[in-house]
Amino acid sequence: MYLTRKHLSRRTLLRGAGAAIALPLLDAMVPAQTALAQTAARRKSRLGFVYFPHGAIMDRWTPAMDGPDYQLSPILEPLKAFRERTTVISGLDNRPAHSGAVHAIVPGTWLSCVHPRETQEVHAGITADQIAAAHIGQETPFPSLEFASEPPLGTGAACDRVYGCTYSSTISFRTESTALPMEYNPRKLFQRLFGKGNTLEQRELLARQYKSILDMIREDAAALSARLGPRDRAALGNYLESVREIERRILVLEEHRGGEVEVPEVPAGIPGKFDEQLTLMFDMMVLAFQADLTRVVSFMMAAELSGRTYGHLGVPDAFHAVSHHGNDPQKIEKLVRIQTYHTEKFAAFLTKLSEIQDGDGALLDDTLLLYGSNMSNSDRHNQFPLPTALVGGSGGRLRMGQHLRYPDHTPLSNVLLTMLSAGGVDVERLGDSTGTLAEFNS
**295 burial level (CB within 10 Å; 0-12, 13-18, 19+):** buried
- Helices marked H in 319-411: 319-323, 329-355
Q: For 306-321, what is each residue's pLDDT tens digit?
A: 989 999 999 999 999 9
Mean pLDDT of the chain: 82
Alpha carbons 197 and 200: distance in angstroms, whole number = 7
Q: For 48-91, what is each residue's pLDDT tens digit?
A: 999 999 999 999 999 999 999 999 999 999 999 999 999 999 99
Alpha carbons 393 and 67: distance in angstroms, whole number = 18
Alpha carbons 245 and 141: distance in angstroms, whole number = 10
pLDDT > 90? residue 37: no
Q: What percent of the chain has pLDDT over 90?
A: 55
Average of per-residue pLDDT across 252-260: 50
Alpha carbons 365 and 83: distance in angstroms, whole number = 14
Alpha carbons 419 and 402: distance in angstroms, whole number = 15
Q: What percent of the chain has pLDDT over 70?
A: 75
Q: Which residues of 213-344 form beta strands (DSSP E)?
A: 296-300, 309-310, 315-318
Alpha carbons 277 and 269: distance in angstroms, whole number = 10
Q: For 338-381, what is each residue's pLDDT tens digit?
A: 999 999 999 999 999 999 888 788 999 999 999 999 999 999 99
User: pLDDT category, 215, cuts 50, 70, 90?
Assistant: low
User: pLDDT category, 164, cuts 50, 70, 90?
Assistant: confident
pLDDT at residue 273, rounded to an integer = 86
pLDDT at residue 301, rounded to an integer = 96
